[in-house]
Amino acid sequence: YEPAVDYQILGDAVSIDSAIRAWETSYTPNTPNYYLAQLYRQSTWVYLYRTIRPSRPSEKIAQVVDDGLSFLDQLPQDAGAYSIVLMPLFLLGCSAFLPRQRERIKKGFETLKGYSNLRNIEPAFKVVERVWEVMDTKMEESWDWEKIISDMNMDFLIT
């Protein structure tokens, strides 16, 4: 059974959704910072959607993840902006229900590891892989990545 609707939360979510959709970056189109800004916008929307909706595949979430991955693909791997893709990559990864998306997320983590020596990249990817396992077995629990991190006895920043 679906839980009762909390109209205050739903109204707040609609306002946030509208703000995310209307938001325009000040960066020049077709630049690394522009692609990064769009990647953050997509991952912010994913975070909102997966917070208020049940954790299950949908065409909407698949399209948003695909769009986010397309912005990631346009970001030059040697751009300074690449140093801060861990959070959007993590959020998109935790929303990647489709195998083709998971392959692209895995490639993104590998590229990030090649770019940066930050020690939080590997644990973040391990959590994403665990989220995928949960998606494939107990789908409704898959968005609770904070619980998954706790269950894995991990403590790290996703930044």
Quick: pLDDT tens for 114-129.
Answer: 888 889 999 999 999 9
Alpha-carbon distance 136 to 148, whole Å? 14
Residue position matching structure tokens 């839980």? 3
Q: What is the mean pLDDT of residues 88-96?
A: 95
Which residues have CB under 8 Å from 159's CB, separation 6+? 84, 86, 87, 120
Residue 4 has pLDDT above 70, yes or no: no
For 138, other C-beta atoms within 10 Å of its C-beta total: 10
| The two structure tokens encoding residue 144 | 């609770």
- Output the pLDDT for position 115: 85
Distance CA 122, CA 118 (A): 9
The DSSP code for 120 is T
Which spans in the chain are helix H?
7-22, 32-52, 59-74, 86-93, 99-115, 121-137, 145-151
Q: pTM here?
A: 0.88
